[in-house]
Amino acid sequence: MKPGRVIAVVGRSGVGKDSVMAGMAAVSNLAIVQRVITRAPGLGGEDYVPMTVADFEKAVDDRAFCLHWPAHGLFYGIPAQVAEQAQSGQSFLVNLSRKVLAQAYEVFPNFQVINLTARPETLAARLADRGRESVEDIRARLARTVPAFPDGVVVTDISNDGPLDQTVSAVLRAIQPVRA
C-alpha cells in the first residue's frame, strides 16, 4: 500500500495555519492532526490535547510521539499513531515548526511543506484577535527572526493576506499531484 501524504503547514504565529487547514479538510480527504501541547486547556484557537510538562516528558520517554519539539515556552508533540496511519495510506495536514521539518522528512515518506505568509499588520491583527498574548508579547513575536528552512526541504510559499477561501484554493492547487 502506498503511504499517505503528510502535508506540513508552517508559518508565523497568526498567519492562519489552523483556519487554512480546517478549510482544506472540509473539501478534501486530508485529516487534521491534533497536536499535544503543554498549554492550559480551553485557550481557543486550534483544537489541541493539553498536557502538563511532567506528563509530556513521560510521553516522550514512552515514545508516544513521532515528532516533538519546544517552542515559545511550550512543548508540542505529534502522536506516534500519525506515522503509523500515514504508512497505512491515511493523508494528514499537520501544523509543524520549522525546527522539526528535517526530522519529519525522515518520519513521513510522502511529505510536503506549505509555508503560509502574511503581512506584519495582518499578523498583528490576528494575534490580537486571539486574545492569548499581551501587546508586548505580540510585538516580541513579530520581531523574532524566522529561521531558514533546513537544507533539502522543498517549500511552497502561499500568501494568506486575502480571503480564506482563496488561500485554501491556492494551497489545494499547490498540493495536487502533477498528472502526466
List the pLDDT tens digit at each of the 180 positions of the chain: 788 999 999 998 889 999 999 999 999 989 999 999 999 887 766 789 999 999 999 999 999 999 999 988 899 999 999 999 999 999 999 999 998 999 999 999 899 999 999 998 898 888 888 877 788 888 888 888 888 888 888 899 999 999 999 999 999 999 986 444
HSE-up (13 A, CA, CB side) for residue 143: 6
Residue reference for cell 485554501: 168
How much is the pLDDT for 35?
Answer: 96
Residue 59, phi-psi category: left (phi > 0), alpha (psi -120 to 50), beta (remainder): alpha
Measured between alpha carbons, how far is 12 from 140 in angstroms, rounded to an integer? 12
Task: Give the bridge partners for 93, in sequence order.
Answer: 7, 32
Q: Distance (Å, rounded) from C-alpha 1 to C-alpha 40?
A: 39
Q: pTM for the whole thing? A: 0.87
Rounded CA separation 167/173 (Å): 10
Q: 14, 124 in Cβ contact below 8 A?
A: yes
Alpha-carbon distance of 41 to 38, in angstroms, equals 9
Strands (E), the chain: 6-10, 31-32, 36-37, 49-50, 65-71, 74-79, 92-95, 111-117, 155-159
